[in-house]
Amino acid sequence: MLGVFGGEKNLGLSLTLSSFETSRDYDNLDKDYFLVTPQLAPLLNLREPTYVHVHVNGTPQTNFRDTTSNGFPSSVDFRLSPETSL
């Protein structure tokens, strides 16, 4: 507590610095789809074009991400009188 403007212990300050680092990874699998039309595959007896998932073209990926967060939280308390503060 500090005394300002002729007051006694009428100003309070709180200052904090923070920093946080983290490394994260996540896996991703991109899948490919193939459009099969009735003309392309008449033996399937399709009535309309259909997308088919193709497993052989899946591409696994691991993505790495480093994140840094910084902060400067602070607060100020000023007492105008024994009954009133801001």
What is the model's pLDDT at position 30?
Answer: 72
Domain that holds residue 17: 11-85
Per-residue pLDDT of the chain (86 residues; tens, 9 = 90+): 777 777 777 888 999 999 999 998 888 777 777 889 999 888 989 899 998 876 655 667 888 999 999 999 999 888 887 777 76
Q: Strands 11-15 and 74-81: what pairing?
A: antiparallel
Asked, for residue 67, whether it belongs to a domain, the answer is: yes
Asked, for residue 2, whether it belongs to a domain, the answer is: no
Asked, for residue 1, whether it belongs to a domain, the answer is: no
Q: Please enumerate in sequence order all residues whose Cβ is within 8 A of that of 38, keeping only pairs 6 or more positions apart, or say none.
A: 44, 45, 46, 47, 48, 49
* Amino acid (one-letter) located at 82: P
Here the tokens at position 37 are 């039309």
| Number of domains observed in the structure of the chain | 1
Asked, for residue 61, whether it belongs to a domain, the answer is: yes
Helix (H/G/I), strand (E/B), else coil: 37: coil
Q: Please enumerate in sequence order all residues whose Cβ is within 8 A of that of 7, keeping only pairs 6 or more positions apart, or say none.
A: 79
